[in-house]
Amino acid sequence: MTSTYLAFAAAGALALSLSACSQERKAEADTGTAQATVSTTAPPSVVPDAQLQQQAQQAATASSTPVDGSGPVTTTTAVAPAAPAKK
């Protein structure tokens, strides 16, 4: 009987750990003219909260920039990575 209790306890612990891994985290940003919400199911060790908030801010800023480019942001694209070093 004790092995049955241990099996149920192990199954319960496994279910709790799996549900903790799949929790969605969100970050929101508001620029006054646009709002953005970014979400992830990645754990904080992979995508820190600060990075999630930064992505939300960048998304809100990009969406608040007028199509004609007259807004305060001149570019919303990522900088190209540096070329690999020559051998």
Query: Does 43 map to a domain?
Result: yes
Would you call 38 helix, strand, or coil by DSSP?
strand
pLDDT over 90, % of the chain? 32
d(CA 14, CA 26): 25
**pLDDT beneath 50: ranges in the chain:** 1, 4-6, 14, 18
Tell me which residue range forms the domain holding 45: 25-65
Query: Does 87 map to a domain?
Result: no
Query: Does 35 map to a domain?
Result: yes
> What pLDDT is attached to residue 48?
92
CA dihedral 6, 8, 10, 13 (to 10 degrees): -140
When divided into structural domains, the chain yields a total of: 1
> What pLDDT is attached to residue 6?
47
Query: Does 19 map to a domain?
Result: no
